[in-house]
Amino acid sequence: MKKIAIVDFGGQYTHLIARRIRDLGVYSEIVHPENFDAIEDIVGIIFSGGPQSVNAEDAFRINLDVHNNNIPILGICYGHQLLAKMVGGEIESGENKEYGFTSIICDNINSVLLENIESRQKVWMSHGDHVSKLPENFKITASSKSVIIAAYESKDKKYFGFQFHPEVTHTKNGMKMLENFIRLCTNEHNWNVKNFKESLINEIKIQAGDKKLILLLSGGVDSLVALELCIQAVGNENVYSIHVDTGFMRLNESTEIMEHFDKLGFKNIKIIDAEEQYLNELKGVVKPEQKRMIIGKLFVDIANKELSKLPKDEEWLLVQGTIYPDTIESGSTDKSAKIKTHHNRVDEIEKLLRQGKIIEPIKELYKDEVRKLGEELGLPYKLVHRHPFPGPGLAIRVICSDITKPQDNVTKEEAFMNEILSEFNMEGIILPIKSVGVQGDFRTYHHPAVVWFTKDENRSWQKINECSSKVINKLKTINRLILSLIPVGDLNIGKLFLEKHNLDELREVDAILRKKTDTIKEIWQMPVVQLPLRNSENKLCYVMRPVCSQDAMSADFYEMDFDYLKDIISEVQKSENVGDIFYDITTKPPGTIEWE
């Protein structure tokens, strides 16, 4: 079968590129640079992004004779830079960094890949290095305000480069650009995903054999779809589900899960109350990665304890609802960067995977594909399209702290930030806490900043978008911006741990905010974050993060009506323990959807 090879340089979006090509009707296959020679029937090549600098000594390379090559090659982000260097171009590192939405101007008349689209385009950037010089037989086909060479093409129409990511949904005409590339490679559309449900069910049957299946059931759509697949594959009587109530669930969630599953006719489901055990294990723990590791390990320990109670004469396999973004952010390829370790990728799980004791039937799918599969399996729409919820639950939405005063001096950065903010009639402060982000395919752990307008009449989402992008691109110490509707007074950092009373307060705030936003279809997920910051009234502060996304690999924030947002905040602040409520205005990248 003719195919387009996606060369994996460790980027966060490698599988997303492959999927987009398949969506356009051509078979695609991911290959590591060192295995490239083993791939046959290639009609086109795409170099993926990656977290490294092309100029680094240990950077990924590929053994490909570009001077005698006749196959069209498209480089994306890192691939754009690598390809340029391979043909004689130059790469620079500097201040021209871009993360999130960026405007480019295209030469759509003289460009093969950018033809038939408007000259001004909104695209998705995530890079530090950039191409500074091209060989004579190349031409620039797009530029941004910060980067002159945002796209290029060779005059012989063999080599193409995009500094931006056409594969993410936020690049408006990205699919059209990829379609233009495919047209150069082949006119044969040979790929159509038929009987996808049946193929996954058959695969589970083969993997399971005569063994029983045990599903670690979180209650989210991923594990729900995995459970239904398993039941249709081996029968209800051969599937045993364990739901561990960690104490980090949302309000009434475990009870609602059982009610839903009872209506669906699911059997053999056991709920384990492990709240006290989890709180004891996590007592005093503040580091995000350490929290995730403990949660994942304890999850496996509890599951193993349950397994030991099962009949000794039966063999079992564990089933997880792992999806592709979980494996990518955990650093699944040789040179991809770890953004955060997901609970289903801790060491204990990795060991069981190597032993062949775990089935992950949907591990190559993205969230929107999982939802489509759920509908195909006949699951209720309301369950399939409920907001995603992370495996570690509210534990990663409490930003824990064991300090009582700021540890970093950010005075200079704050002054520089306010110079930028003044252009937008805004002011702000850098917060004495940190959150996880992803910039240029690397994990970041930097400060958020809270900003506000100097006058209410100055508010506009256009200004907020421009401001967020500019501040984060210019300041290395900041990877996330949050908005306050009112000027922020003194915020004092204090100790905050995973304790029941804090989690109960977060549950209440989360429940109110979800109820107020559940009818807004554009909001794909609505994390609520508890901060270790108290306002002048000694009340804890919170962040609401309504995000718009399809596949969790990229995301935007929802532009809520300011009056409605004010009403929501007023409703939440009726609770006597709730302080300031902020609104996260960070895209992904540079900020991950969750704060930890």
The CATH number given to whatever domain includes residue 260 is: 3.40.50.620
3-state secondary structure of 225: helix
Cβ-based neighbours of 518, under 8 Å, separated by 6 or more:
none
Rg of the chain, C-alpha, whole Å: 25
Query: Pick from 585, 498, 495, 596: which is nearest to 547 by CA?
Result: 585
Question: Which residue from 286, 359, 354, 360 is spatially nearest to 326, judged by alpha carbons?
Answer: 360
Same domain, 233 and 354: yes
Shared domain check, 231 and 165: no
Q: Which two tokens stand for residue 465?
A: 């978008």
DSSP string covering 35-100: GGGG--SEEEEEE---SS-TTSTT-------GGG--S-EEEETHHHHHHHHHTT-EEE-SS--EEE
Whether 385 and 415 map to the same domain: the answer is: no
Which mean pLDDT values do the consecutive 10-residue runs of the chain (596 residues) have?
90 85 88 78 93 82 87 95 95 74 90 93 84 94 92 95 91 95 92 72 93 84 92 93 90 82 82 94 94 87 78 78 65 48 53 76 81 90 84 93 90 95 96 87 87 94 93 91 96 96 97 94 94 96 93 85 97 94 92 91
Q: How far is CA 107 from CA 116, 289, 592, in A?
A: 10, 45, 33
Catalytic residue list contains 118: no
In the residue annotation, 167 being an active-site residue is answered as yes
The amino acid that residue 226 corresponds to is A
Neighbouring residues of 476: CB distance < 8 A, sequence distance ≥ 6: 446
DSSP result, 109-158: SS-SSSTTS-SEEEEEEEES-EEEE--TTEEEEEEESS-S-SEEEETTS-
Strand ranges, E, within 464-516: 478-483, 492-493
Hey, what are 390's tokens?
Answer: 């992370």
Contact 85, 98 (CB under 8 A): no
Q: How many CB atoms lie within 10 A of CB 479?
A: 26
Q: 452, 424 in Cβ contact below 8 A?
A: no
**In angstroms, what CA-CA distances link 287 with 217, 299, 361, 407, 419?**
26, 18, 31, 15, 32
Last residue of a domain, one of 185, 219, 237: 185
Q: State the burial class of residue 592 (Cβ atoms within 10 Å of its Cβ: 0-12, 13-18, 19+).
A: buried
Same domain, 284 and 248: yes
406 within domain boundaries: no
- Residue 571 falls in the annotated catalytic set: no
175 and 315 fall within a common domain: no
> What is the Cα–Cα distance from 334 to 337, expressed in whole angstroms?
9
447 and 104 Cβ atoms separated by less than 8 Å: no
Q: Is residue 405 part of a domain?
A: no
β-strands 316-319, 212-216: how paired? parallel
The active-site residue, picked from 98, 167, 329, 596, is 167
CATH code of the domain containing 72:
3.40.50.880
**237 and 205 housed in the same domain:** yes
Give the chain's end-to-end CA distance (angstroms, integer): 42
Say how far apart CA 46 and CA 28 lie, in whole Å: 10
464 within domain boundaries: yes
374 and 503 belong to one structural domain: no
d(CA 239, CA 225): 13
Would you call 588 helix, strand, or coil by DSSP?
strand
Q: Rounded to whole angstroms, how far apart are CA atoms 596 and 592?
A: 8
User: Looking at the domain assignment, is residue 138 inside a domain?
Assistant: yes
Q: Looking at residue 341, what is its pLDDT?
A: 46
Domain end, chosen from 160, 185, 210, is at 185
- Chain centroid to CA 404: 31
| Amino acid, single-letter form, for residue 364 | E
CA 456 from chain centre, in angstroms, equals 33
Task: Please name the residue that has the structure tokens 């059931």.
Answer: 217
Report the alpha-carbon distance of residue 453 to residue 238 in Å, rounded.
59
**Which candidate in 77, 230, 400, 541 is catalytic?**
77
Say yes or no: 36 and 96 in one domain. Answer: yes
Residue 337: the pLDDT is 47
Catalytic position from the list 165, 243, 342, 447 = 165
Same-domain pairing of 263 and 348? yes
**Residue 590 in domain:** no
pLDDT for position 340: 43
The number of folded domains in the chain is 3
Residues 6+ apart with CB under 8 A from 377: 197, 225, 228, 229, 232
Cβ partners under 8 Å of residue 561, min gap 6: none
Q: Is residue 439, in this structure, part of any structural domain at all? A: yes
Structure tokens at 21: 């090509």
Query: What's residue 450's pLDDT?
Result: 98
Residue type, 394: L
| Residue that terminates a domain, selected from 148, 166, 185 | 185
Q: Report yes or no on 133 lying in a domain.
A: yes
Torsion over CA: 340, 342, 348, 353 (sign): negative
State whether 330 and 217 are in the same domain: yes
Question: Whose CA is closest to 393, among 528, 260, 249, 292?
Answer: 249
572 vs 512: CA distance, rounded Å: 7
* 478 in a structural domain: yes
d(CA 172, CA 165): 10
pLDDT of residue 350: 64
589 preceded by cis ω (within 30°)?
Answer: yes
Tell me which residue range forms the domain holding 232.
196-393
Q: 594: closest CA among 533, 528, 550, 542? A: 528
**How high is the pLDDT of residue 162?**
97
User: Rounded CA gap, 344 and 323, in Å?
Assistant: 10
Q: Are both 68 and 164 inside the same structural domain?
A: yes
- Cα angle 338, 292, 254 (rounded to 5 degrees) comes to 130
Report the 10 Å Cβ neighbour count for 267. Answer: 12
Q: Dmax over Cα atoms in the chain, in whole Å?
A: 72
Strands 212-216 vs 159-162: parallel, antiparallel or unpaired: unpaired
As to burial, measured by CB atoms within 10 angstroms (0-12 exposed, 13-18 middle, 19+ buried), residue 143 is: middle
**Number of Cβ within a 10 Å radius of residue 249:** 22
- Tell me: cis bond preceding 590? Omega within 30 of 0 counts: yes
Cα 7 from Cα 9, distance rounded (Å): 6
Answer yes or no: do 211 and 318 share one domain: yes
